[in-house]
Structure 1
Amino acid sequence: MIRTLLGSAALAVLVTVAPHVAQAQSISGPYLAARQAAIENDFEAAARYYTEALSRAPGNPALMEAVISTQLALGRVDRALPIAKLIESRDLRSQTAHMAVIADLLAREEYDTFLARDVEQLGIGPLVDGLLVAWAKIGAGDAEGGLADFDTISEERGLRGFALYHKAMALAGLGDFEAAEALFEAEAGPLQQTRRGAMARAEVLSQLGRNEDAIASLQAAFGSSTDPELSAMELALEAGEVLTFTHITSPRDGAAEVFYSLAGALRQDAGADYTLLYGRVARHLRPDHIDALLLNADLLEELEQFGLANAAYKQVPADHPAFHAAELGRAAALRESGKPEAAIEVLEQLAKRFGDLSIVHSTLGDVLRQQDRFEEAVESYNKAIDLLGEGERGSWFLHYARAISLERLKDWPRAEADFRKALELNPGQPQVLNYLGYSLVEKQIKLDEALEMIEEAVTASPDSGYIVDSLGWVLYRLGRYDEAVEHMERAVELMPVDPVVNDHLGDVYWAVGREREARFQWMRALSFVDPSEVDGEADPDRMRRKLDIGLDRVLDEEGAEPLKVADEDG
């Protein structure tokens, strides 16, 4: 198990500093502020406060470690370096300190100095150190030794894929495209599981004059999925152009690739804050590593540092093939940070420039729908569906999302047609079954079919509170109150603070004669209503009316059919 680095650093600071807080009140304020900022992944504030605490308690190893970690998380190797060197000068072991020093040495291409270090004492980790040593040997002029090191690493259990990926990149970087392709062909699976690996092989094949094979390899890796970067590559290959091998242009690029490829692997097991350190070092070593930049931005989003994520996305040049991906990410970061109108503006501009990309229109449709701008959302979904075509992956969701917008616009015939089209494209999809079934229930039409749909949805997603609620509600609508109770109670267990689900349980309790429990549930539901959601599904005025006069009289006031008579035993 890998602990997140900032979490570990914060813990170390707590253990080291806390006993002395009483004697050193001057550091308690900035230390506690730094600790809270670190918990919230607010790297800017954490770096500032940890630095202030360190200035008041110079030489504290845990504080030094924390400063380095936060500065690396911000991509500021230059600010982490002086403290990292100080730690090493005191013969202290610190993974982050060694990472900062190594990043600086490799960025300045001081390969001999790096190779002279004792990696056992001053390394980052066995795999990272081994790969970096191999690249450093190539940088120092010992290509044979570096390639041999990759072979040695490949013999270790679980490391073959990493080692041979880097060996293939090194061979191509050295201009030995024949040997690189031999590796790609022999180890086709592991070496092409990543986007960069597949694109690197296409460049290698093109260098060998095998453009048709390059196109075939891209299609095998990505299928019919495409984007501006892949499209540009395929068009160049079809035109007979010889692609330059861009993935590795120097041993320094190779070192950057080590950190980037390790960051990709760490995402499966480590925390986003720890993984971010590797992505940041990759960018320090290779500032034009756009894939690393996008990875860092995505990690920052995951850490809810939307301002930093937005700033990272904005660094992708407008003329880069990945610009559309960066802008999509920036729109997501803006939306998550509570700036939906700014996100819409970004997407609208993107739609003007990349009007032939379905994902741009579908993403714009999603944001517009979330802002209740349903007519505009439908227009965006129309464009996305037209561009994507029938039967393509994800097309079911476009019909589903458009159906939701049409339903909210009260255009039920078109909405129902889209819901059913989504089910045709993705049979048994629980979200669609639930939404369509629930809508039919609310409209009091096709109730038997609605029940079948929702029962199928519950079977597929038994732990979804929304779907279980729908099953209880359709049974209630059918007058099968006793059966509804169990499902509505289960829905409340799954979603205990949802106002609509609690309100529904109250109605079901009332229907079976459990009036006191019904009133309790309506009170609970009312306490969970968000006042800011004025157009939400929960109706607080109706809840209050039911508390005042009971459900029977409310239904009578609404002109609805009365409930069936039920006693205390149902």
Structure 2
Amino acid sequence: MAMVQVTQAQNAAHAKADGHHFAQNNRARIGSISGIARHALAAVLFCGTVLAAAPLHANGVAGDYLAARQASFAGDFKAAAEYYGRAVLYDPENPQILERAVLANVSLGDLDRAAGIADKLIAEGYRSQLAQMALIARDTRNENYEAVIGAINEQRGAGPLADGLIKAWAQLGMGDMTSALVSFDEVAGLQGLGAFARYHKAMALASVGDFESAAGTFEGDAGGMSRTRRGIMAQAEILSQLDRNQDALVLIDTAFGGALDPGLTQLQTALEAGETVPFSHVRSARDGIAEVFYSLAGALSSEDNDDLTLIHARLAQYLRPDHVDALLLTAELLDEMEQYALAVATYAEVPEDSEAYHAAELGRAEAFRQQDQMDEAIAVLQGLTESHGDLPIVHSTLADFLRQDERYAQATDAYTTAMGLFDEITEREWFLHYARGITYERRDMWPEAEADFRAALALNPNQPQVLNYLGYSLVEKQIKLDEALEMIERAVAARPNSGYIVDSLGWVLYRLGRYDEAVGHMERAAELMPIDPIVNDHLGDVYWAVGRKLEAEFQWKRALSFVDWENAAEEADPDRIRRKLEVGLDQVLAEEGAPPLRAAGVAQDGADDEG
């Protein structure tokens, strides 16, 4: 019947509105840098750029420049780099074009090309901090530490905070550990920057094998970067080098408890086995300078400045291509900036033998999904079930993608596999039952669906999504109506501004024949979701039921205007709406063999006992 189609459409819309149970990044941080340090970053990181706009001379350069600007505004770094590159050929001395070309190429990750353009900018006598950063990165990659120190001494560095740390690492690279330690201490003396300096000093000491001093430096730093995941793991490796595996295990347990990702699990297993874990976080001065840029990127990520964060992450990635945390941060930023093709490529750079490979593949699948490339996304996840099939999140994420792609039987199996991998199903796993219940409901397997929905509520009794979905489904099946109404009322109390849930309350009252009560709720749902075809269609039906027929017809016409014809199967039934406009709701109900409106509110004798 047509009403069943509408029910399935709204249930599909509800499922879509719930969002998806996608994987979260495994690089969880515990603690953050001080507020003073964060504000200092905003003040000092990017203060010496070229500001004056130079005139554009030829039609060719103007066209490429405008195209490049448009690409930059859209966040399309690849196109911006291409157009700015062409503009530079037309006008090779224009500082504005040169600097923007540097920015586009750094953002794209092409640091060699960025440094080449930066050479031209600096050679013309212009000061650009971004250009200087690109040149310092190139000199560092070439291990030309004398040039790095010279640039910083001549105030051609990467910024006040970065310069002190970079100089210290460059001094270490030249074999002058004494001067390096002095430089680290000088940075530590600056207000709010002690956490950065102590973290890097400890890393530097460990990189040259002075693990005792490194451990003491970390232990003297009660917060800041030493409390991040990366800092904890570095300390654990240092403690292991000192035959203090038990202390390392206590450190990990205190910081993370049982919430360990594969990398932490691998480290914990090695420590418990009595292995001496090598120090791997910083192996050279070049790694150390990469760590400076990564540290700043991590700090900037909390400042809602994706562009600056991306620049620093790209510099870290350039200096140390195997810096997996920098790769993941870069890919996540590109994802957030809707540069999904670049995100896919960056996630793919994480090697398969990395402990973060599964996180990268989950991210890559999500980036494919964002591009509507569901087959590619699902293929990535299916491959991950072969390499990391012991992780519940792999199967649950695959199930989410399959559910979105309407492969419900496969999704059911994937959710079942995910549940079987938990030692114990706890409150946190309510979503798995809920999502699997949706797949059963879409397959017309109602007893299994209801069992899963009720299992989800047993784990999380007041979860509004579950209350709404189960309550709405019971109403459409005309069973357990009193319980259904109570569920939906609880859902509305929890989410009074959810249009889908408010719509459910209005609709259940309509189905119960309580038309006057339904009007206010349906009007509220339409206010919350004014262009949703299902909500407008429902409001039209309610208006018709209370005799407001002109308003009903207006709402049905609105519903038709909002139908997404490419996904009409998940929208209000347009043919049914047109028929209502032709002959009215009463006649449509009669044609469908449904009870007339006047009888809709009659008590359903025995209905509440069904199921």
Alignment TM-score, normalising by the size of structure 1: 0.91
> Structure 1 stretches of 5 or more lacking a match?
none
Alignment of 1:383-398 (within 5 A): 383-392=417-426, 394-398=428-432
Identity of aligned residues (%): 58
Contact 1:43 1:74 (8 Å CA) reproduced: yes
Alignment of 1:41-440 (within 5 A): 41-118=75-152, 121-392=155-426, 394-440=428-474
Alpha carbons of structure 1 residues 450 and 171: separation in structure 2 relative to 1, 3 Å? farther
Contact 2:513 2:599 (8 Å CA) reproduced: no
Establish whether residue 479 from structure 1 lines up as the match of residue 513 from structure 2: yes
Alpha carbons of structure 1 residues 85 and 477: separation in structure 2 relative to 1, 3 Å? same
Aligned partner of residue 199 in structure 2, secondary structure: helix
Establish whether residue 490 from structure 1 lines up as the match of residue 556 from structure 2: no
Aligned partner of residue 566 in structure 2, secondary structure: coil
1:395 maps to a residue whose letter is E
Structure 2 distance, partners of 1:421, 1:149, is 60
Residue 32 of structure 2 is matched in structure 1 by none
Alpha-carbon offset, residue 209 of structure 1: 0.8
Alpha carbons of structure 1 residues 396 and 83: separation in structure 2 relative to 1, 3 Å? same
Alpha-carbon offset, residue 101 of structure 1: 1.0
Task: Determine which of 44, 47, 53 is the counterpart of 1:16.
Answer: 53
2:562 maps to a residue whose letter is F
Structure 1 distance, partners of 2:460, 2:379, is 32
Alpha carbons of structure 1 residues 502 and 159: separation in structure 2 relative to 1, 3 Å? farther
Contact 2:152 2:163 (8 Å CA) reproduced: no
Contact 2:122 2:131 (8 Å CA) reproduced: yes
**How many residues get paired?**
558
2:439 maps to a residue whose letter is S
Residue 476 of structure 2 is matched in structure 1 by 442
Alpha carbons of structure 1 residues 289 and 520: separation in structure 2 relative to 1, 3 Å? same
Contact 1:309 1:330 (8 Å CA) reproduced: yes
Moved segments of 4+, more than 6 Å: none
Alpha-carbon offset, residue 470 of structure 1: 2.1
Structure 2 distance, partners of 1:164, 1:482, is 68
Structure 1 distance, partners of 2:446, 2:328, is 41
Aligned partner of residue 225 in structure 1, secondary structure: coil
Contact 1:388 1:395 (8 Å CA) reproduced: no
Structure 1 distance, partners of 2:197, 2:480, is 60
Question: Could you tell which deviates more after superposition, 66-75 or 207-216?
Answer: 207-216
Q: Deviations over 1:88-137 (max 9, x none)?
A: 23332323212101111222222232222256842333322232223223
Question: Could you tell which deviates more after superposition, 111-120 or 84-93?
Answer: 111-120
Alpha-carbon offset, residue 279 of structure 1: 1.0
Structure 2 distance, partners of 1:408, 1:550, is 30
Structure 2 distance, partners of 1:447, 1:129, is 69
CA RMSD of aligned residues (A): 2.7
Structure 2 distance, partners of 1:295, 1:509, is 52
1:320 maps to a residue whose letter is S
Contact 1:191 1:197 (8 Å CA) reproduced: yes
Structure 1 distance, partners of 2:408, 2:557, is 32
Alpha-carbon offset, residue 352 of structure 1: 1.7
Structure 1 distance, partners of 2:592, 2:192, is 67
Question: Could you tell which deviates more after superposition, 343-352 or 474-483?
Answer: 474-483
Contact 1:262 1:278 (8 Å CA) reproduced: yes
Alpha-carbon offset, residue 275 of structure 1: 1.7
Residue 12 of structure 2 is matched in structure 1 by none
Q: Deviations over 1:308-351 (max 9, x none)?
A: 22222222222222222222222212222121112212211211
Contact 1:153 1:163 (8 Å CA) reproduced: yes
2:548 maps to a residue whose letter is R
1:316 maps to a residue whose letter is V
Alpha carbons of structure 1 residues 393 and 221: separation in structure 2 relative to 1, 3 Å? farther
Task: Determine which of 517, 536, 539 is the counterpart of 2:573.
Answer: 539
Alpha-carbon offset, residue 219 of structure 1: 2.6
| Higher relative contact order (Cα pairs below 8 Å, separated by 6+ residues) | 2
Question: Could you tell which deviates more after superposition, 243-252 or 550-559?
Answer: 550-559
2:273 maps to a residue whose letter is A
Alpha carbons of structure 1 residues 279 and 232: separation in structure 2 relative to 1, 3 Å? same
1:530 maps to a residue whose letter is D
Alpha-carbon offset, residue 381 of structure 1: 0.6
Aligned partner of residue 567 in structure 2, secondary structure: coil
Alpha-carbon offset, residue 76 of structure 1: 0.9
Residue 563 of structure 2 is matched in structure 1 by 529
Structure 1 distance, partners of 2:227, 2:512, is 51
Alignment TM-score, normalising by the size of structure 2: 0.85
Contact 1:184 1:191 (8 Å CA) reproduced: no
